[in-house]
Structure 1
Amino acid sequence: MEEHAFGPGLPRLAPAGGAAAVPHGGATLARAGVGAELVAPEQLRRGKTGWPSVDRGLRIGAIVNKRAHRNAAREIFNGSTLLDWAAPSSVGELDAALARFAESKIDTLVIDGGDGTIRDVLSASARVFTGPMPTIAVVPSGKTNALAIDLGVPADWSLKDAIAAAATGQIRVRSPIEVSRLGEAGPGLRGFLFGTGAFVKATALAQETHKVGAFRGLAVGMALTGGVLQTAFAGSNNHWRQGERMEIQLEDGRRLDRSLYLVLGSTLERLPLGLKPFGRERAGLKFLGIDAPPRHIVATAPMLLSGSEAGWLERIGYHRADMEAMTISVPSGFILDGELYRGGDLSVRKGAPLRFLVP
């Protein structure tokens, strides 16, 4: 299940190796051009190379995950001099590339990869960028691209499109979820979809769907459907139904200590396949908590996932809430953007808003 984009080194991430990078200037970084090209926000023209041909003005840096699904079969950049870019094979190399971007004061950070790549880059950026974050452009080239779907970035949006949007694109704002361990200093993780309990098992199912070619939002839907079926037709002692004992402290001071089947949180406004587990579409950090064992899950699941806000859902143990932050103690682990992390005492909060370029 653990598929880190950039290998070992990121705090609280398990080692997973990474793709080799191309050496450049004594550092193991794949890189095009010398320094960040300066790109102006005038109307873009296409040059003979197929890359946008522009005057100088904006600085652009790009991080590419060469292990991403759609990147595996294509050349990366092919010597473009429009931007400074890196394809890191470790978190140390990722930090070095981002530090170089920060030093050159890039205006736009392009992230070419899926949700896992975005999570790793944003988490590392919190350690590197001491001032405001640059505007971000996402190229959805991974197995799962929930953030891109939420932003309205088309599946065929290319790196060239992202570079062009740096001069002409629109802006949408999203705040990441920030997850850190209580008592540990420094920035934690930044992502957009948090879950524990049955969501950990459902994500394992989603990883299996990747092996048979279910990408983009389909894997998420198949995982949730499989989770419902595993729960609905299992006996009372089945591990899907039993839930986990969790302790939660809400921002208003209330403490909850109970067995929960699932806790899900997100700052995304639109989930893949039109799923609406948090109810109506809206901004902010939203949570869904389901008591264990879940009651009438076959009847409630279609209504819950389609966004129904019927009052009886709360009465039988399906709880929704909007909040800025909470602390939660989870014994077995949690998922952030498809990645499994060890459990413990966690702070989960809405992070500072980020600006994303869209077509």
Structure 2
Amino acid sequence: MVCVALLSNPKSTGNRQTLPRVRSYCASNPDIFHYEVEHVDQIGRALQTIARVDPAVIVINGGDGTVQAALTELYQGEHFHGRVPPIAVLPNGKTNLIALDLGIHGDPIKALARIVEIAKAGVGDHVVARELIALSDGQVGSRPVLGMFLGGAGLADYILYCRNQIYPLGLSNGLSHFLTALAVLASVMFGLRARFLPPSTRPVRISLIREGQLVGRFSVLIVTTLERLLLGSRPGESQRGNMKLMAVDQTGPALLRLFWASLFRRMGKGKMQGIHLEQGDTIRIEGDRSSVILDGELFQAAEGRPIVLRSTEPVPFLRLAA
């Protein structure tokens, strides 16, 4: 049995520099079965082939879109007949949130070597369960898209602003994110409006089944099944459901409270005006052209066409730290 099956997308941004090293490492390591795809449409066939070699671990090496497509196909494709091996994600792309949640960071070759080491010794102590977010339009028979991190409302607008206005400048990721944060603060804190600043957010209605509604304009909307939300916050353990939600009102004071609470690790310690922490197993997002981004891919709600999020059954993932 092959220890590790590696699924790579050569066209992802991170792989433009690292893939030659990955190829060289795999060529010299018989414990790795390396399969490359050039488009997400090829992932289904890739996983059919990977299932035949029966790996102990599946590693995804690509950007956010590759990870999302692979998770969707792994969960719904039945290639492994209900026995999906633990999944690992190499640090790649712009955010790496899933990789960070699993303790996988730094140099991708070193991470891959550690994954091979764990696979050869036995993965039992390193397997963790994570639910996925299933995004659909709520209609019977519609095929959902699966992921683990969703940004919506103002956050989706800011991500798109960074992607379309700042990344093309060719700056580093860190500097790009810093400039985006400054632009967001200028537009939210001081009410500045200009073509080179992020747009004003649209009203949105968020419904948590059995838990009520949130209605308004939000500068931050996050839904995730990762162990922690961004900024280290955790909703209360007594709440229902597996999807964690954080919504921050689009006001200067609410953003300041978010900043100070995250800086001093007070998120989730108590209620804060303008910051909503919830948890649920079904969430509806409604609004006129309200955008959400699930693991890097854009989706949009419209009047009469809400976005519906449901948590899936647990899926095995590989965490580097036992």
Contact 2:153 2:217 in 1 (8 A): no
1:287 partnered with 2:238: no
Gaps of 5+ in 2: none
Contact 1:61 1:84 in 2 (8 A): yes
* Structure 2 counterpart of 1:308: 267
1:197 partnered with 2:153: yes
Q: Distance in 2 between matches of 1:203 and 1:63?
A: 26
How far did residue 348 of structure 1 move?
Answer: 1.0
Contact 2:248 2:255 in 1 (8 A): no
Contact 1:288 1:321 in 2 (8 A): yes
Q: Distance in 1 between matches of 2:161 and 2:233?
A: 18
* Structure 2 counterpart of 1:5: none
Q: Which moved more, 1:107-116 or 1:235-244?
A: 235-244
Q: Distance in 2 between matches of 1:222 and 1:267?
A: 28
Q: Distance in 2 between matches of 1:276 and 1:222?
A: 22
Specify which structure has the higher proportion of helix.
2
Contact 1:146 1:271 in 2 (8 A): no
Match of 2:131 among 164, 170, 175: 175
Change (3 A) 1:70 1:247: closer
Change (3 A) 1:312 1:84: closer
> Which structure has the higher relative contact order (CA within 8 Å, separation 6+)?
2
Q: Distance in 2 between matches of 1:345 and 1:164?
A: 45
Q: Which moved more, 1:340-349 or 1:206-215?
A: 206-215
Question: Matched residues, percent identical?
Answer: 22
Contact 2:189 2:252 in 1 (8 A): no
* Structure 2 counterpart of 1:32: none
Partner of 2:23, secondary structure, is: coil
1:108 partnered with 2:57: yes
Partner of 2:232, secondary structure, is: coil
How far did residue 236 of structure 1 move?
Answer: 9.2
Amino acid at match of 2:106: A
Gaps of 5+ in 1: 1-37, 40-57
* Structure 2 counterpart of 1:329: 286
Change (3 A) 1:235 1:140: closer
* Structure 1 counterpart of 2:36: 87
* Structure 2 counterpart of 1:62: 6
Contact 2:157 2:199 in 1 (8 A): no
Contact 1:180 1:347 in 2 (8 A): yes
Give the CA RMSD over aligned residues: 3.4
Contact 1:149 1:270 in 2 (8 A): no
How far did residue 325 of structure 1 move?
Answer: 1.8
Residue deviations 1:62-84 (CA, integer Å, cap 9, x gap): 21021234421342434354333
Q: Distance in 1 between matches of 2:194 and 2:313?
A: 42
Q: Which moved more, 1:156-165 or 1:75-84?
A: 75-84
Q: Distance in 1 between matches of 2:133 and 2:55?
A: 24
Q: Distance in 1 between matches of 2:129 and 2:179?
A: 29
Contact 2:161 2:198 in 1 (8 A): no
Q: Distance in 1 between matches of 2:199 and 2:270?
A: 23
Contact 1:196 1:330 in 2 (8 A): no
Q: Distance in 1 between matches of 2:176 and 2:148?
A: 17
Contact 2:228 2:234 in 1 (8 A): no
Partner of 2:16, secondary structure, is: coil
Match of 2:16 among 48, 61, 72: 72
Change (3 A) 1:318 1:241: farther
Amino acid at match of 2:137: R
Contact 1:171 1:356 in 2 (8 A): yes
How far did residue 334 of structure 1 move?
Answer: 0.9
Give TM-score scaled by structure 2 length. Answer: 0.77
Give TM-score scaled by structure 1 length. Answer: 0.70
Partner of 1:63, secondary structure, is: strand
* Structure 2 counterpart of 1:212: 171
1:347 partnered with 2:308: yes
Amino acid at match of 1:119: Q
1:232 partnered with 2:189: yes
Contact 1:201 1:227 in 2 (8 A): no
How far did residue 241 of structure 1 move?
Answer: 8.4
Amino acid at match of 2:16: A
Amino acid at match of 1:167: K
1:164 partnered with 2:122: no
Partner of 2:15, secondary structure, is: coil
1:120 partnered with 2:49: no
Contact 1:194 1:337 in 2 (8 A): yes
How far did residue 198 of structure 1 move?
Answer: 0.5
Match of 1:155 among 96, 106, 112: 106
Contact 2:248 2:276 in 1 (8 A): yes
